[in-house]
């Protein structure tokens, strides 16, 4: 690399490099960032297209998440401390859950409260 060092008050302050070398450095940095992003993404949960399709079609997020996690209404009710009937009403839009209940459901389903926007 051919860099010219510019001093300010006798102290190195800037490095000037030819534009072609600068662009090559930026390309390398983008590659390194892509690799880091790929490693991060590998460790995050991914979802099948059917999961997204169901949410996009307007189906109850609670039902979609519950089905995805393989839970029955009763199992989720037990895990969140409410009745099966209450969860059924929430899934069908006949009851509005409290923030506290949404938090308990999110914990039981392993998702964020925002994912259950009911």
Q: What is the mean pLDDT of each run of 10 residues along the chain (118 residues)?
A: 91 94 94 88 86 96 97 96 95 94 96 89
Predicted local distance difference test score (pLDDT) of residue 46 = 85
What pLDDT score was predicted for residue 45?
Answer: 83
pTM of the model: 0.65
For residue 97, what pLDDT is reported? 93
- pLDDT the model gives residue 118: 59
Please give the pLDDT value at position 98.
93
At the top level of CATH, the class of 49-116 is mainly alpha
In the chain, where are the structural domains located? 4-42, 49-116
**Contact assessment for residue 68 and residue 50, using Cβ atoms and an 8 Å cutoff:** no
């Amino acid at each position: 690399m051919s860099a010219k060092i510019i001093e300010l008050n006798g102290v190195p302050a800037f490095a000037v490099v030819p534009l072609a070398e600068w662009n090559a450095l930026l390309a390398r940095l983008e590659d390194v960032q892509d690799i880091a992003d790929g490693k991060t993404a590998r460790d995050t949960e991914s979802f099948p297209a059917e999961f997204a399709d169901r949410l996009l079609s307007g189906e109850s997020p609670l039902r979609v998440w519950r089905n995805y996690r393989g839970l029955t209404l009763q199992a989720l009710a037990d895990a969140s401390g409410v009745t099966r009937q209450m969860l059924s009403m929430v899934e069908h839009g006949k009851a509005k859950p409290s923030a506290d209940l949404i938090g308990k459901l999110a914990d039981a389903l392993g998702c964020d409260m925002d994912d259950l926007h009911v």
